[in-house]
Structure 1
Amino acid sequence: MADLRKDPLPVGYHPLPPGHLANVVTCLEMTARPALRPAPEQGFTLARMGAADTGRFRNLFRAIGQDIMWFSRLMLEEEALAAIIGDADVQCFALVKDGHDVGLLELDFREDGQCELSFFGVVPSAVGGGAGRFLMNEALTRAWAQPITRMWVHTCHFDHPAALGFYQRSGFRPYAVMVEVHPDPRLTGQMPKHASPQVPLIGG
């Protein structure tokens, strides 16, 4: 694991390259299986996705992430995305209700003894209806059924305002804060110009 204390930013304001965004990222972890919080049974099921499901994955990724600046997987070629979600050490699921995909869960076990909760989210219409808690309980149960000693996730200030508190109530604890600088995906074509309207678009 990288040393997150190396080369910290100095105090003060720092200009960004034109066309870039700064993303404040909070890293969280847990080192023991937590108690699960109550989740209402509302007809949710999980459908495993694999290498042949890149189209389904991208559609769900966009539906969840368009307004919270999810873009990383949109930058991947089909072969690269298929290799990840088809990897035997990656568990990728669509959360399904009434025949519709309403959530995404990806658990990455490619590092020995660890699980990264690499993608977790529900579509906007499912927020607040119990889908997130059901999905988190599934994530925790499946992750800690494996021989791991650590589960981790990161969230950022572009995410839903309730995300950080939700992760903490689920048993994760913050351990680092970082700043990620990246090209604005609305300017590079990965996302439409109207995506994430709460994030100022400069240069578009």
Structure 2
Amino acid sequence: MLDYARARPGEAIDRIVVTVTFMRLDRRPPITWSPLPPDAVVQPARRMTVATYRALYDRVGQPWLWWLRRMMPDDMLARLLADPATAIHVLTLNGVEVGFFELDATPWPDINLSYFGLTPEAIGQGIGFSLLGAAIERVFAGPVRGMTVNTCTADHPRALPNYLRAGFRVTRQVNEVWDIPCRLGFTIPDRLRPSAG
């Protein structure tokens, strides 16, 4: 566990158990991606502030228990956002931010898809797979060895099937126990609690 993500001593936590699936894509898949709607635009986010990033991260990730970046100190997050190895692309629909993907070139010559998702109001409109295609096309536009991603059982149920549909293959799966501070205000699905199942 990352030091900054540890709960404070004596702090109330929600303990959850997830299965994390690690995947990779070795080459651009032979897929013709459905176009995004005409009023949808994917653009690199230049000089994104910590506050702007946190707001979008929270809107997209709240239902899926995205918590690690919420625990990351502002100065650490600011360094990450300024790092040339980090590339964030934001999806807007009718001028409103409704999703993003974050690429990490630190494991070069692989590129990792660190975060990917849509806001709740954008889910179900058929744009998620097209956004995934935009991320894949962006990665394979350069001289890379491959693309990696991981998803877990806390994510949207279509996440894993969509990655597989896009051509990713599973490299390994691990079970993890997360202690999420209650102060973050998540609603924990019963299926993820240790007593479930």
TM-score range, shorter chain: 0.7 to 0.9
- Which of 1 and 2 has higher RCO (CA within 8 Å, sep 6+)? 2
Task: State the partner residue of 2:8.
Answer: none
Give the TM-score normalised by the residue count of structure 1.
0.81
Matched letter for residue 40 of structure 2: F
Q: Could you say which residue in structure 2 is the equivalent of 1:46?
A: 42
1:129 aligns with 2:122: no
Deviation at 1:131, TM superposition (A): 2.1
TM norm structure 2: 0.84
Match of 2:91 in 1: 95
Instruction: Decide which of 28, 47, 64 is 2:60's aligned counterpart.
Output: 64
**Aligned runs of 1:1-204 on 2, under 5 Å?**
19-42=14-37, 43-185=39-181, 187=182, 189=183, 191-193=184-186, 195-198=187-190
Unmatched tracts of structure 1, length 5 or more = 1-17
How far is 1:38 from its partner? 2.9
Number of matched pairs? 181
Distance of 1:159 and 1:80 partners within structure 2 = 25
Structure 2 CA distance for aligned equivalents of residues 50 and 81 of structure 1: 15
Structure 2 residue runs without a partner (length 5+): 1-12
Q: In the alignment, is the contact (CA less than 8 A) between 1:34 and 1:170 conserved in 2?
A: yes
Q: Name the SS for the 2:80 alignment partner.
A: helix
| Partner secondary structure for residue 66 of structure 1 | helix
Partner of 1:3 in structure 2?
Answer: none
Identical positions, percent: 30
CA-based RMSD of the aligned residues comes to 2.0
Whichever residue aligns with residue 16 of structure 2, its letter is L
